[in-house]
């Protein structure tokens, strides 16, 4: 016996799976014959999409229900199918963040085991045309999307190629699924301004330009592993403004890799093996930066650790919010900060005109108020001791107060002001005091060219640019110093220091100006006081008041200038000596050796009754490595 049922229906509503959206407003024709069922769908609705045509079929004596239809409607329905239907059990919450919009055409196919509905088979084939996609968590908006997206329970979500626009730039995308993990790969040009949106951290203030970027999004149901966002770029076309070798021009290739786990708020990155880092995005400041090679580890404390080594820099320290204040002040403490340059030889001059790089525009006005402490500061091979300061960024300026330095028994104090912006400039005021300068110079590998029992110095300096853009050629201001009870020794690499002030060859000059050769038994020129006062203008130091050296056997005055850029001296030296100890010398200088003997006898007879002062003048000119000392005539003085 055969049983058949025919049914035409309008406004029909039915469900073919308990977890699948119902068919509404259906115009259908149903044909049941024994165990065979066929439903033709002339029209209807699923969600907000229109069914143009479709059918449902259960073959005779089969437990497999088949369904197929063509849907026309808004792309938002596709997102609902992925997240709220039975597919949600397969895909998890990975696509909850997807917000599609625009008209789409979808071919839908289902296989529903009647005796086991949970073993649902699904085929969804959607064609996109000028659609939009908003990823709300990252606030990323893709526009003008064209292409096809497929989902099957066997292969997951896939797409061979999608085209669209992101940040008004063309992008290509493909989607692949392996097991329960879906990966979305995007490729396109991204400007540095928009790179922040992709990376999840602020990069645009240090980058400028546009580069090709590959963005990979990994989606799965395991929240500890997904979602995951990976960003890769060679940064060709993007300039990087960072200190030292971290900077690069736009045409140079440097790899940037950023790895983000939004769910557990972790971000890892590496920049061309020069800078590695890990950050906790849920904390105000928690992470670790490693300079050069190394594997960063997230610290337990809420602070940013900085450690590692690059050509030009070696450091270890941390930055954290201050526990002593509640007004946003921060604390930076470094165990050591070692800065190097091309000439690390300990015999290098103390003053060089190009020890710092130029054009490194770091905007520090975005930083909070900061207390900085460096326990071991070094420049090249030279130890600079322990330093502290208070940094106070303000609008268009940064003020550095309470600058304190300590090296051996020398102390330095001062303040600085950095005017930022187009006409950036730095002003620095320093005061130095201590005992024996030779101890510091010897520590720096400069020998002991200048020994002092007491030394005091002050400086008011200015130069264009940021504090680290110091260069002798741009230097202006004034400085002065005074040293008591010391000795000048012309030997060793420390002679460079003496050349700067025109003190080189004074020992030779001293020996030429007296008959008492006992000074040859003791190296150096002894002085009771040495003081100087200089003006600086674009690297040229000119005496405001003559450099004065008062000693037991002579007094000297040095006036003139030294060009610290070209290392040229242009100085005049006047030496005042007691006539009683130099009568014979005067005769020698006059070219009359026979008179010298008579003057010597006369001096011995007359004793201190002829104790007068004579003055001799010299010029000191030429390069400070080989200066020329010339005697001046009386009318030239």
Model confidence band, residue 605 (pLDDT cutoffs 50, 70, 90)? very low
Q: Residue 181 to residues 151, 223, 480, 530: CA-CA distances in angstroms?
A: 13, 12, 71, 78
Give the ranges where 308-401 is alpha helix by DSSP (H).
Answer: none
Q: How many CB atoms lie within 10 A of CB 43?
A: 14
> Ranked by mean pLDDT, which of 259-268, 295-304, 441-450 comes out on top?
295-304
Q: Which position has the higher pLDDT, 78 or 61?
A: 61
438 CB neighbour count, 10 Å cutoff:
20
| 356 in Cβ contact with 471 (< 8 Å) | yes
Long-range contacts of 113-116 (CB under 8 A, 24+ apart): 113/63, 113/64, 113/65, 114/58, 114/63, 114/64, 114/65, 115/63
Whole-number Å distance between alpha carbons of 307 and 338: 11
Q: Which two tokens stand for residue 2?
A: 């055969």
Q: Which residue has the tokens 């799965």?
A: 220
Q: What is the pTM of this model?
A: 0.75
R_g of the chain computed on alpha carbons: 41
Tell me what pLDDT residue 496 has. 54
In contact, 304 and 322? CB cutoff 8 Å: no
Identify the pLDDT of residue 360: 45
- CB–CB of 183/157 below 8 Å? no
| Mean of per-residue pLDDT scores for the chain | 81
pLDDT confidence bin for 492, thresholds 50/70/90:
low
Which pLDDT does position 461 carry in this prediction?
Answer: 95
Could you tell me if 631 and 616 are in contact, meaning their C-beta atoms sit under 8 angstroms apart? yes
pLDDT of residue 203: 72
CB atoms near residue 465 (< 10 Å): 21
Q: What is the pLDDT of residue 228?
A: 86
Choose the weakest-confidence range: 187-191, 296-300, 350-354, 406-410: 350-354
Residue range 465-488, pLDDT digits in tens = 888 787 888 899 999 999 999 988
Q: Which of 76-85, 163-172, 421-430 is the least confident region? A: 76-85
Nearest-5° angle of CA 402, CA 395, CA 192? 115
pLDDT in tens, 539-571: 899 999 999 999 887 788 989 999 988 889 898
| pLDDT of residue 298 exceeding 90 | yes
Tell me: pLDDT of 449 over 70: yes
Please determine, for residue 348, whether its predicted confidence score (pLDDT) is greater than 50: no
pLDDT above 90 covers what percent of the chain?
A: 36
With CA atoms as reference, report the closest residue to 41 among 5, 16, 73.
16
Find, among 45, 37, 40, 38, the residue nearest to 11 by Cα. 45
Joined tokens for residue 608: 């201190």
Dump pLDDT digits (tens) for 395-405: 788 999 999 99
**Residue 325 pLDDT grade (very low, low, confident, very high; cuts 50, 70, 90):** low
Closest CA to 551 of 585, 514, 602: 514
Q: Is 112 exposed, middle or buried (0-12, 13-18, 19+ CB in 10 A)?
A: buried
CB atoms within 10 A of CB 11: 10
Tell me how far apart the alpha carbons of residues 262 and 402 are, in angstroms, rounded to a whole number: 41
Task: Inform me whether the pLDDT recorded for 349 exceeds 60.
Answer: no
**What pLDDT sits at residue 264?**
73
pLDDT value of residue 445: 84
**CB-based contact 511:530 (threshold 8 Å):** no
- Per-residue pLDDT at 353 exceeds 50: no
Q: Rounded to whole angstroms, how far apart are CA atoms 226 and 264?
A: 9
Helix, strand, coil shares of the chain, percent, nearest 5, are: 15, 55, 30
Which of 147, 171, 252 minimizes the C-alpha distance to 207?
252
- The proportion of the chain whose per-residue pLDDT surpasses 70, expressed as a percent, equals 79
From 11-25, 249-263, 306-320, the region with the lowest mean pLDDT: 11-25
Q: Tell whether the model's pLDDT for residue 147 goes beyond 90.
A: yes
């Amino acid at each position: 016996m055969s049983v058949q049922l025919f049914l035409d229906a309008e406004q029909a509503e039915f469900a073919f799976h308990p977890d699948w959206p119902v068919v509404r407003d259906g115009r259908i024709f149903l044909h049941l014959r024994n165990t065979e069922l066929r439903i033709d769908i002339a029209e209807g609705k699923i969600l907000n999409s229109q069914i143009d045509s479709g059918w449902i079929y259960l073959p005779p004596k089969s437990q497999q229900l088949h369904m197929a239809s063509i849907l026309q409607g808004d792309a938002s329905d596709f997102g609902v199918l992925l997240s709220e239907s039975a597919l949600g059990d397969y895909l998890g919450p990975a696509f909850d963040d997807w917000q599609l919009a625009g008209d789409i055409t979808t071919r839908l196919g289902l296989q529903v085991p009647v005796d086991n509905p949970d073993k649902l088979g699904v085929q969804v084939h959607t064609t996109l045309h000028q659609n939009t996609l908003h990823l709300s968590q990252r606030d990323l908006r893709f526009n003008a999307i064209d292409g096809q997206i497929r989902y099957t329970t066997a292969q997951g979500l896939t797409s061979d190629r999608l085209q669209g626009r992101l940040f008004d730039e063309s992008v290509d995308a493909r989607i692949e699924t392996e097991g329960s993990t879906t990966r979305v790969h995007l490729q396109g040009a991204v400007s540095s301004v928009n790179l922040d949106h992709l990376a999840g951290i602020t990069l645009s203030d240090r980058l400028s330009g546009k580069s090709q970027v590959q963005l990979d999004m990994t989606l799965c149901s395991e929240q500890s592993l997904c979602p995951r966002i990976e960003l890769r770029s060679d940064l060709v076309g993007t300039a990087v403004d960072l200190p030292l070798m971290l900077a690069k021009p736009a045409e140079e290739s440097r790899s940037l890799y950023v790895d983000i786990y939004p769910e557990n708020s972790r971000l890892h990155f590496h920049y061309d093996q020069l800078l590695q880092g890990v950050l906790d995005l849920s904390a105000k400041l928690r992470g670790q930066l490693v300079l050069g090679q190394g594997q960063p580890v997230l610290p337990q404390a809420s602070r940013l650790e900085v450690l590692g080594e690059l050509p030009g820099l070696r450091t270890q320290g941390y930055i954290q919010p201050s526990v002593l204040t509640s007004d946003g002040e921060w604390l930076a403490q470094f165990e050591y900060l070692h800065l190097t340059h091309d000439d690390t030889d300990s015999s290098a001059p103390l003053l060089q005109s190009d020890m710092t790089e130029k054009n490194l525009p770091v905007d520090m006005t975005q930083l909070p108020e900061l207390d900085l402490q460096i326990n071991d500061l070094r420049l090249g091979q030279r130890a600079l001791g322990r330093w502290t300061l208070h940094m106070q960024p303000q609008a268009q300026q940064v003020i550095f107060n309470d600058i304190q330095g300590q090296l051996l028994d020398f102390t330095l104090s001062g303040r600085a002001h950095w005017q930022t912006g187009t006409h950036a400039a730095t002003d620095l005021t320093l005061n130095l005091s201590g005992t024996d300068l030779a101890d510091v110079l010897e520590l720096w590998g400069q020998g002991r060219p200048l020994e002092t029992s007491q030394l005091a110095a002050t400086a008011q300096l200015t130069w264009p640019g940021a504090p680290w853009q110091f260069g002798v050629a741009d230097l202006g201001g004034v400085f002065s110093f005074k040293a008591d009870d010391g000795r000048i020794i012309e030997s060793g690499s420390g002679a460079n220091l003496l050349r700067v002030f025109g003190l080189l060859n004074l020992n030779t000059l001293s020996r030429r100006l007296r008959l008492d050769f006992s000074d040859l038994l003791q190296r150096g020129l002894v002085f009771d006081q040495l003081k100087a006062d200089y003006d600086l203008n674009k690297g040229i130091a000119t005496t405001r008041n003559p450099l004065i050296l008062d000693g037991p056997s002579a007094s000297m005055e040095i006036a003139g200038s030294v060009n610290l850029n070209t290392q040229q001296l242009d100085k005049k030296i006047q030496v005042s000596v007691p006539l009683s100890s130099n009568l014979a010398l005067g005769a020698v200088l006059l070219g009359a050796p026979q008179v010298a003997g008579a003057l010597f006898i006369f001096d011995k007879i007359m004793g201190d009754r002829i104790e007068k002062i004579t003055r001799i003048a010299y010029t000191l000119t030429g390069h400070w490595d080989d200066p020329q000392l010339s005697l001046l005539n009386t009318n030239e003085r």
